[in-house]
Amino acid sequence: MPAQHWPAPVATGPVAASVELPGSKSVTNRALVLAALAEGPGIVRRALRSRDADLMVAALRALGATLEPMAETSASVDWRVTPGPVRGGAHVDAGLAGTVMRFVPPVAALADGPVTFDGDPHARKRPMGPILDALRALGARVEGDALPFTVSGPVAGGEVTIDASASSQFVSGLLLTAARFEKGVTIRHSGPPVPSQPHIDMTVQMLRAAGVRVDDGERDVWRVEPGPVAPRDLTVEPDLSNAAPFLAAAMVTGGTVTVPGWPAVTTQPGDALRGLLTDMGATVHLTDGGELSVTGAGRIEGIDADLREVGELTPTIAALAALASSPSRVRGVAHLRGHETDRLAALATEINRLGGDAEETDDGLIVRPRPLHGGVFHSYDDHRMATAGAVIGLAVPGVEVENIATTGKTLPEFTAMWASMLGTE
Ligand SMILES: O=C(O)C1=C[C@@H](OP(=O)(O)O)[C@@H](O)[C@H](O)C1
Ligand SMILES: C=C(OP(=O)(O)O)C(=O)O
């Protein structure tokens, strides 16, 4: 895969493709953590292979779990996971992965010695304070308030109040390990709304499937009883958020893209694409057999949408908005400033660099239609910025995406899949 300035292919006609997506990053990394914390060996099938998933595998191995591939393809692995006593003295590289930097520190607090964490230069800027303070309040010793930091257990557990408005992953991270703390954990959120509720629902649902008792009946309060985590044999769903740029290609080109294996019921936020793309003018159909198809009308409508619950879809929606025939407004996503990059600034800057009209608001973006021209679309080490550039490039000749290889965070085969969708491979 070329490392830099990837000439984004222009579509020569309506796409007509079926695109099979590898496993969900969010499900994979939760499943691996829960398997490593379980009472006995378990299996995680169709786990994603990508930088974020590889970092999680390395982190759990460093902490004492054994992960063995039972079967693998270039895109996915079936892992047999054998838990071990959580080992101190380890180092965890979080890369730029929110799931690693927020889900692994509570696991590390179970270790018999200190565990050090660091990550990419930009990862040191991502918010960590609330979850590290929570671990302190629950009994851990933590040096540092952001990457790099050191966590030393033991943690007794108990009650803690946090402000999770900057990331739902603070809640998910504490919840995933909570049952293994002597007293379990009760988390109360206090502050502006917590984003990405479906991702918290995903955590709660996967904990329950592993036999953990979770009470989420009161808004912004989660109670986890202490107890064992049951081993499972689970199959990871396709990554519906990574379906976004491919489905967007159907809209941009007035073609049809189908994605097999779309779950009938899911906690993945990518499922919201069905409604969002319909609102932007697509015809969306999900068959009983789990095949999702999106057909573009040849014209994209602007949208006014609150994406707080599904923030990771914002870069694709903004790319579509830049190609739409009427203005768009995206709200509720101030927390995207703490993602892989400040996504609101990055999207506005890169759309405007191509001649567009995008404006940051307090909590989102306004994008007005304007003819675009070619140029370099910077990715800021952000996989979803890179794929947003590819979407715009379908309709705008001369777009070059800087560092397309950053798509390896969650979709290492992106360029090959894109070429295959366009029939140009
Ligand atoms: O728990 C998860 O797997 C995720 C939660 C969300 O994080 P934020 O709540 O920080 O947006 C999402 O954006 C991220 O891509 C994955
Ligand atoms: C915000 C994202 O990732 P992370 O898990 O690193 O927070 C994302 O994938 O859009």
Condensed to tens digits (0 to 9), the pLDDT of residues 348-361 reads 999 999 999 999 99
> Domain limits of the chain?
6-21+238-422, 25-235
> Which of 308, 339, 383 has most ligand 2 atoms within 8 Å of CB, for mutation?
339
pLDDT for 280 = 98
Ligand 2 atom with least separation from CA of 26: 5
pLDDT digits over 24-71, tens only? 999 999 999 999 999 999 999 999 999 999 999 999 999 999 999 999
Describe the crossing of helices 98-108 and 129-137 by its angle, rounded to 10 degrees.
10
pLDDT at 106 over 70: yes
Task: Return mean pLDDT, the chain.
Answer: 97
Q: ipTM strictly over 0.90?
A: yes
> Which of 25, 26, 33, 385 has most ligand 1 atoms within 8 Å of CB, for mutation?
26
Q: Which ligand is nearest to the Cα of residue 53, counting in written order? A: 2
Q: Whose CA is nearest to atom 15 of ligand 1?
A: 312
Any catalytic annotation for residue 309? no
pLDDT digits over 300-318, tens only? 999 999 999 999 999 999 9
Q: What percent of the chain has pLDDT over 90?
A: 98
Domain 25-235 is in which class? alpha beta
Q: Whose CA is nearest to atom 10 of ligand 1?
A: 167
Is residue 425 classed exposed, middle or buried when 0-12, 13-18 and 19+ CB atoms within 10 A define those classes? Answer: exposed
pLDDT at 2 over 50: no
Instruction: For tokens 């003018």, name the residue.
Output: 281
pLDDT at 415 over 60: yes
pLDDT digits over 163-193, tens only? 999 999 999 999 999 999 999 999 999 999 9
pLDDT at 1 over 70: no
Q: CATH homologous superfamily of domain 6-21+238-422?
A: Enolpyruvate transferase domain (3.65.10.10)
Residue 361's nearest CA partner among 393, 396, 336 is: 336
Could you tell me if the CB of 99 is within 6 A of ligand 1? yes
Q: What percent of the chain has pLDDT over 70?
A: 99
Instruction: For tokens 């976004």, name the residue.
Output: 244
> Can you tell me the distance from the alpha carbon of 257 to that of 338, in angstroms, rounded to the nearest whole number?
31
In which element (H, E) is residue 134 found?
helix 129-137
Give me ligand 1 centre to Cα 298, in Å.
Answer: 32
Give me ligand 2 centre to Cα 183, in Å.
Answer: 30
pLDDT at 3 over 90: no
**Angle at the Cα of 161 from the Cα atoms of 52 and 37, rounded to 5 degrees:** 40
pLDDT at 158 over 70: yes
Global pTM reads 0.98
Q: Whose CA is nearest to atom 14 of ligand 1?
A: 312
pLDDT for 4 = 66
pLDDT at 84 over 50: yes
Q: Which ligand is nearest to the Cα of residue 172, counting in written order? A: 1
Q: Which ligand is nearest to the Cα of residue 307, counting in written order? A: 1
Decide: 111 and 65 in contact? Cβ < 8 Å.
no
Residue 290 corresponds to which amino acid?
A: G
Same CATH fold, 25-235 and 6-21+238-422?
Answer: yes
Catalytic residue among 20, 159, 301, 312: 312
pLDDT for 425 = 75
Decide: 100 and 84 in contact? Cβ < 8 Å.
no
